[in-house]
């Protein structure tokens, strides 16, 4: 009886040990395939960097990437320069207009006289006044600097200048001027270009 119980217990222990070993074996097999897949991925990446389609080395590939990056930096610098030129042109062009029509003489009617103000981004420009009469018309021009005129102004001319000054928001011209000033103060060396030079030297 004791021998029978011992055999049963021994077989039970062997079956438990066999089950544990089988589980460990399956786990090791799965681990092996997972590691193999990971090694294959790393090998493909290594092969991609070391040998390109044309058989070039990683040094040649990096050199090509650096060259393309340099072209992108130069292109962005060109675009920035064009933006600065456009900002300068916008700053110096007439962009604010003020027009007031009125009757300079009571007998004319139809408001044929007018005061026209033309200002650039820095509020510099001119105010033109045309006085229309039955027999003749006269045109006057007065300089405007910084939104102010040093000459005596009629009420219509002053109103025309005020309308022109309020054509755009006051900070629009200032932002353009700040952008132009920042471009002028920027030196010719670009930090990105310096980093690219260091990469090429390496």
pLDDT tens digits for 141-192?
999 999 899 999 999 999 999 999 887 554 555 665 666 666 666 655 454 4
Helix (H) or strand (E) run with residue 115 in it? strand 113-119
pLDDT tens digits for 64-122?
788 888 888 888 888 888 877 777 777 788 888 999 999 887 766 678 899 999 998 88
Structure tokens at 1: 């009886």
pLDDT tens digits for 12-38?
777 778 788 888 888 888 888 889 888
Distances in whole angstroms, Cα of residue 128 to Cα of each of 12, 121, 164: 113, 18, 12
CA atoms of 146 and 153, how far apart (whole Å): 15
What is the number of other CB atoms lying within 10 angstroms of the CB of residue 98? 22
Q: Which of 11 and 55 is assigned the larger pLDDT?
A: 11
Q: Which one-letter DSSP state was computed for residue 86?
A: H
CA atoms of 52 and 39, how far apart (whole Å): 19
* 3-class SS string, 159-199: HHHHHHHCCCCHHHHHHHHHHHHHHHHCCCCCHHHHHHHHH
4 by DSSP, 3-state: which? helix
127 by DSSP, 3-state: which? strand
CA atoms of 149 and 162, how far apart (whole Å): 11
The strand pair at 96-102 and 113-119 is best described as: antiparallel
Q: Which one-letter DSSP state was computed for residue 202?
A: -
Residue 118: the pLDDT is 93
Residue 170: the pLDDT is 47
Is 43's pLDDT higher than 80?
Answer: yes
Distances in whole angstroms, Cα of residue 123 to Cα of each of 48, 94, 166: 60, 9, 11
Q: What's the pLDDT band for 133 if we cut at 50, 70, 90?
A: confident
């Amino acid at each position: 009886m004791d021998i029978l119980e011992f055999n049963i217990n021994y077989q039970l222990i062997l079956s438990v040990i066999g089950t544990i070993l089988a589980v460990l074996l399956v786990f090791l097999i799965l681990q092996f395939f997972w590691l193999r897949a990971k090694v294959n991925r790393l090998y493909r990446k290594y092969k991609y960097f070391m040998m390109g389609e044309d058989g070039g080395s990683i040094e040649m590939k990096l050199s090509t990437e650096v060259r393309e990056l340099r072209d992108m930096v130069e292109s962005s610098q060109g675009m920035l320069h064009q933006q600065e030129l456009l900002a300068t042109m916008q700053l110096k062009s007439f962009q604010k207009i003020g027009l007031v029509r009125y009757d300079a003489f009571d007998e004319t009617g139809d408001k044929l006289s007018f005061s026209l103000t033309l200002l650039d981004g820095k509020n510099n420009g001119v105010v033109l006044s045309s006085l229309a009469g039955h027999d003749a018309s006269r045109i006057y021009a007065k300089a405007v600097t910084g939104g102010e005129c040093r000459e005596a102004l009629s009420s219509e001319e002053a109103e025309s200048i005020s309308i022109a000054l309020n054509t755009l928001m006051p900070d629009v011209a200032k932002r353009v001027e700040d952008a132009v000033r920042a471009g002028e103060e920027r030196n010719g060396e670009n930090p990105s270009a310096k980093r690219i030079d260091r990469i090429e030297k390496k």
